[in-house]
Structure formats: structure tokens, C-alpha cells
Amino acid sequence: MRKIGFSILICLFFLMSSFQRLEPKSFKLKTIVIDAGHGGKDPGCNGFGSKEKDIALDVALKLGEFIKQNMSDVKIIYTRKSDVFIELHERAAIANRNNADLFISIHVNSGPSGLYGTETFCMGLHKSEQNLEIAKRENSSILMEHDHTKKYDGFDPKSPQSYILFSLYQSAFMANSTKLAAKIEQEFEDTNKRHSRGVKQAGFLVLWKTSMPSVLVETGFLTDTTDANYLKKEKGRIDTAWGIYTAIEDYKRDMEDEE
């Protein structure tokens, strides 16, 4: 009798665990890390009297405000909320420690005259010299970090050879990062009427260390008069933040419906 009772218990146990397996595991986008590029002693690029670090911070704070107002179920974490220097590896670590579902790094571009518009990067190997140049400039922030050779295993942000490392890069988050990047660029083009230079890949150290879908948004060229004027105006920064917000909203809906 005891044996039968025991068998029934075992059967019940297996039945329960198979029910658990059948239950759909629904994805919820719960935490977003917003990373304003540069800060403190690292101004980023400059142009027409503006600094990248200030524009990036303002767009980041505006984006966070839009998320707060419209997505009550999403927690926002900023890597910085003021003009302070945060090391690149720490920015990624903040996202990893908080089990973020998305990492969005906001920057402003710099380049030779004639280049203008927005572009959103995912982690990967650059496919053009121009993309490599942008990654080199953005990664050079680590040269202002104490002990950077140790922290980044001797990675030299200015040497093209260092970037060979990224040819082996593979990530489970690539598809979703690209999906979000495409939505951001689409919003910039359709709603903000900006010139979108598209979705690109390059070896950005800040994206490399994150373990969730992550993108780096270049919101325009500070070296271009039209882009610089757009980003210098409050309205330009509001529209930029709103464009990113709308893309996130769309991405969230897609991801949560998919499961």
C-alpha cells in the first residue's frame, strides 16, 4: 500500500513538472540601461560650440523621462545623470549587474566635412574604414582611464590590429540588437526627417562587454552645420529622444508578443 502511495506521488510530481514546462515563459522588457556617452574629463567630440558629452546626456535624460512617463512597468537605470567620467567597462557592468534587457548608448558623431546624419551601431566587425574610425574615436575614451592596458587586456583603441579580435565576435543578442537599431534609424528618417546612414557594425568596447541586446546611437555629426544646429536646439534633442523612445516601444511590443 505504501508502495502504491509512493508511486502515485512520483507520478504526480512528473505530471506537475510537465505542466510547468507547458506554461508559456512570457518575455517582459523590464529594465533598460541608458548610457550617455563620455562625461567629466572626457568631452567626446566638439563642434560649433557644443560638446558631445552635453548633448548625449541631455538626450539620455529626455529618453529616460519619456520611458518613465509612458512605460510604468519599465525600470530605467542611467550610467550617468550628470557631468561625470565613467569608465567604459563600468558602463557595461552596470547593465550586466542589473540584468538589464536593453542597453542604449547615446553619442554624437564627428567626421570629415560632407558627412551628416544618424547611424546606429551594433557590436561586430566593421565593414568599412569609416566605421572603424568611429569605433577608434569612441573607444579612445579608455585612454583617459587609469590602468586601461590591464583592464582591457592590452587593447589599443587606436591600432587597427586590436580590432581583429572582433572578427571572432558572436552574440546571441545580435538579431535583437539589429532589430532595435533598425527601428531607431527608421524613426529618425520617417518621423524626424533626418538623413539615416543606416544600421552598422563596429567594435565598440562599451557594447562588447554587455550581455543583453545593445546599441550605440550616433545622433548626428557635430562637424556638420545642419546636424549641429539640430542637436543644439532643445527641439532637436526632444525629437531625437522621442524617436529612440518610439523605436523602443515598438521593439517592446514585438518582443512581448512574440513569446
Q: Which residues bind Zn ion (CB under 5 A)?
A: 37, 44, 107, 138
State the minimum distance, in angstroms, from the CB of residue 71 to Zn ion: 26
**DSSP string spanning 114-171?**
T--SEEEEEES--SSHHHHHHHHHHHGGGGGSTTHHHHTTT--TT-GGGGGGGGG---
Q: Nearest CA to 238 among 82, 60, 118, 81?
A: 60
The nearer residue to Zn ion, 74 or 244, going by C-beta atoms, is 244
State the minimum distance, in angstroms, from the CB of residue 201 to Zn ion: 16
Which single residue brings its beta carbon nearest to Zn ion? 107
DSSP state of 112: S
* Residues found in the chain: 259
In this structure, what are the phi and psi dihedrals at residue 157, rounded to the nearest 5 degrees? -60, -20
Relative to beta strand 118-123, strand 196-202 is parallel
State the minimum distance, in angstroms, from the CB of residue 171 to Zn ion: 21
**Start-to-end Cα distance in the chain:** 44
State the minimum distance, in angstroms, from the CB of residue 239 to Zn ion: 20
The nearer residue to Zn ion, 204 or 245, going by C-beta atoms, is 204
State the minimum distance, in angstroms, from the CB of residue 110 to Zn ion: 8
The nearer residue to Zn ion, 227 or 249, going by C-beta atoms, is 227
In this structure, what are the phi and psi dihedrals at residue 48, rounded to the nearest 5 degrees? 50, 40
Q: Which residues neighbour 104 within 8 Å (Cβ) at sequence distance 6 or greater?
A: 32, 33, 34, 35, 63, 214, 215, 217, 244, 248
The nearer residue to Zn ion, 74 or 231, going by C-beta atoms, is 231
The nearer residue to Zn ion, 52 or 249, going by C-beta atoms, is 52
State the minimum distance, in angstroms, from the CB of residue 133 to Zn ion: 12
The nearer residue to Zn ion, 138 or 145, going by C-beta atoms, is 138
